[in-house]
Structures are given as structure tokens and as C-alpha cells.
Structure 1
């Protein structure tokens, strides 16, 4: 049993989700950054159907694909994304693969299905409004369930005929793990209500998150399990053998080759 949302339709499992696009070692040596236009284009060119990215809001209220709250790691500039204008971000990213806004990503890559993590609280409403016409090919998520729900609500207010797919935030996943530990069917069902996917690490510290019990419960409720961030091919194959539905990886090109073959469970 799998989600009926169009984001999942017509694509066999295991799904490969290109984490922040694709930056090969050769591209990195040329200065290409994650979540750049070049990284998204490279993932698409490698054959990735699904691209995972992150959403922040600029000083002039434009949603851009960027992971960190500030520019320190990517450009060496300590300022927050929220304090920099679109034009200045474009200048800073010009030799790092090029900045890409959310609108540009949706327009330039119409065949891609985007997995969007709403990182900034102020971005949720604008993300929801932008993706509303494209809700069939967008999955919205956030570590914050409140932020995730705000983005989903914004798509409805913008007149979307369907809601985007969605994966659980941290609080929902915590409730699910407690429900699994107590074997409460009602609590498990409540935690998974209106959820299309669980996107989780295999472990969180000493806690094993991805277990046969979690996979069984998710699949009984039509919820997929995607594991991040897996770059070793042996780990990819091992997780798929456990019936994981998707692999989030920095090397989508490698994963697509490693996992090619007969499709997984329906």
C-alpha cells in the first residue's frame, strides 16, 4: 500500500532523492555549490526524478534554494540569507553554480518532482503560495511540524486543487516512535494521519530509527520511508533490502546506478 499522491505516481521504488541536487567531486573542484542552479541541473541530467532542496527567504522576500541560514559555509560571507537581497545573492553565487529561486526551479525543470524542506519560519507562507499550481509534483517538509502545516495551509489558501505531498516533522516522528514502543495501534495511526512519507536518518545517536517495526507500520498506513543521507552503495542496498522506499543521497548518479534493476515493492 503506497500513497495515492501524484508525487509518487509512475516512479518505481526504491526512489533516489538527489540531496541538494548533485555536486560531483569534479564539479566541487570547479567551485559548484550544493543547491545551486548547476547542482539541480546536474541531478536532472543524471536521471534523478526527485530532487531534495531547502527553502530560505531573502531580505526582499524571494524564496531561494539554500540550506544554511547564513552564507558562511558556502560563500564565506557571515550574513544571514534573510539579510541579503536577491541581487546580491545572485552576485555571490555567480561563480558557485548560480543561485536558483524556487520559482526558477519549478519553471526550469518541469519534469522534476521537488522535495522541499522549509528551513525559515518566514518562508512557509510564500513557499506554499509558489508551489500551489505545482502541488502534484511537490513534497513539503520541515523539521518543524508547525512550519510544514503553515506551508500546506498556504497552498490551500492559494487555491490549489490538491495539497502537496508531505513528510513528518520531528515532533510527529517522536510521537510515532513512542507509539511503536508501546505497540499502540491507535497512536500509530494518529501519528501517521495525513502523512505521505517518513524522511529519517537510519539512526539518531544511539537510537535506531529505521526498524522493521517502523517499516511495517508505515507501509500498513500507505506511508513511505526515505532514509537520509546515504552515500555508500552497500548501505543503499542494505536499506533497500529492508524494504526502505527511498534513499536520500549526495550522489544521485552513483545511487541510480547502484539501485538499477527490478523495481522494489509496489
Structure 2
């Protein structure tokens, strides 16, 4: 075991099939690495980016999905095709037949189903970017029995919960904007009021988080520092993991890992892979 690896405490967490660091094995209690849109912005959300990330050792891919005009679920971040592709207009107005001829960084776009079936052991952190993406997402996850390989998230808690209700089996999830904001503010608010203990604050956090397994948050949001030792302690006491996005500098990754975060989302796949190797947490498949 490396010297750095001793800095990462082995914590007990509720076992979640999607989160391999909650399972007995080499990654138990270790931090997770998530390749943000495949970890290669120039070809983001394309099979080229995903293949490269998997070959580097990533077992988690963070992706965005939207529905084409024909209902096909497409891996894509923005509402409009420009400026990242060689086409223009809202993606929702194009059929998959048309979108299959569109390129991003010289690479073709990807259907969610093709990514879902490309590797049987790679997990997908799926951001539902719009309401129209919910039903095709649910249908594909149910059809392929991929419930233990996906985490569903969205800026909209209502959208995320709708997907969870429609799925035939439970899947992992992280909170949207409202749920995350309540979770971040729960501890400080309790402290100011002076009416609840640290344990009660954690229980409040768990109730606010509701049916989620982790919080995926930026380190800072405007003037507010989100990820602090106190925030991490409250989340961990409530049985919630904390994944931080989008972290691209090695020293900041190390600082966050030293604080005890459970996962890091990054555009810099090689950098994150190298840092996690220092913590005996690589590869992750």
C-alpha cells in the first residue's frame, strides 16, 4: 500500500450496487473517479472519449442525455448542436437518422443504448438534461437490466424522481439543485438555531436528501464553499457519499481526497487516473 493511500480512511457506507467502493474488494472505502463526459472535452460525450477513458482504467463515465425528435436517447450535453458540432439547431428537432451524420470534434454522436451495451462492467452517471429524456432512459435501463450500472441525476429533483418511479427496479441517484442546496444549508442552519445536535443535523440531512445515495457538488458555488470538513462529516454520518465536480488540477484533487471526498469528476482523465493511483484506487474496473 502506498504512503498516500493511508491518508484515505476506510469508511463504512450503506452498500449500493452501483457504488463499488461500498462492496468488499480492492476499492472498498476508496475514492471513485468519474470521467466527465468521457474526460476529453474536445470529443466530449463521444465513443472516442469513452473508449479512451475505459482503456485508462475508468469504471465510471459521467454523461448527459437528450431525446431526438424520433425519441432516440442521445448522449449530448447542450440543448443546441452548435457550437460543439458541425450542425446547427436544437437537437430535439433532429431525428437519429439525421444526427448519425453529425460530428463533434470529428467524432460521430452516440446513442445511449450503444454506450449502455458497449461494456458490461462500466457504470454510467446519467444526467437527464430534459423531461423528454426520462421515458426512453427508463425503457432502455429496464430492457437491458442495467439498474445496478446506472446512477440517475438531474438538476431537476422532480425529473429524477419521475425516472425513479417509472423504473421497474431501484437505481442509484444523486440530488438535484433543490435537494443539494437544502443538504448544504442544513448543517449551518442547525448550528445557528442551536436547537439540534450534530446527530440530529445528520438525520435532517438524510431526510432532506430523501431517496438519494450521494451528493454530487461543486467545491464552491459563487461565494459559498460547499465542500468543507463539516459538510463531509454530516454527509458521511447520514450515509451519503460526496462526489465533487469538475476538478481538473492534481493538487486540488489531492486536497479533496485528503479531506475525505468519496469521488472526483474530472475533464482531465489522465491526471485523475495518476492521482487515484497514488491512493491505491486504480484501475477501477
TM-score by length of 2: 0.84
Structure 2 residue corresponding to 1:182, chosen from 169, 186, 189 = 189
Shift of 1:56: 0.3
- Aligned residue for 1:75? 85
Residue 91 of structure 1: SS of its match in structure 2?
A: coil
Please say if residues 47 and 253 of structure 1, whose CA atoms lie closer than 8 Å, have aligned partners that are also in contact.
no
Structure-2 separation of matches of 1:214 and 1:60:
43
Shift of 1:23: 2.1
1:1-266 correspondence runs (5 A): 1-9=12-20, 10=23, 11-12=27-28, 13-23=30-40, 28=42, 33-93=43-103, 96-132=106-142, 133-156=145-168, 160=169, 163-183=170-190, 184=196, 185=201, 186-263=203-280
Shift of 1:261: 3.2
Please say if residues 17 and 246 of structure 1, whose CA atoms lie closer than 8 Å, have aligned partners that are also in contact.
yes
Shift of 1:77: 3.0
Structure-2 separation of matches of 1:42 and 1:192:
34
Structure of higher CA gyration radius? 2
Please say if residues 16 and 255 of structure 1, whose CA atoms lie closer than 8 Å, have aligned partners that are also in contact.
yes
**CA gap 1:168/1:85 in 2 versus in 1, 3 angstroms:** same
Shift of 1:58: 0.2
Considering only aligned residues, what root-mean-square deviation do their CA atoms show, in Å?
A: 1.7
Structure-2 separation of matches of 1:111 and 1:169:
26
Please say if residues 142 and 168 of structure 1, whose CA atoms lie closer than 8 Å, have aligned partners that are also in contact.
yes
Residue 181 of structure 1: SS of its match in structure 2?
A: helix
Residue 83 of structure 2: SS of its match in structure 1?
A: helix
- The count of residues paired between Structure 1 and Structure 2 equals 252
Unaligned residue ranges in structure 1 (runs of 5+):
none
Structure-1 separation of matches of 2:150 and 2:272:
21
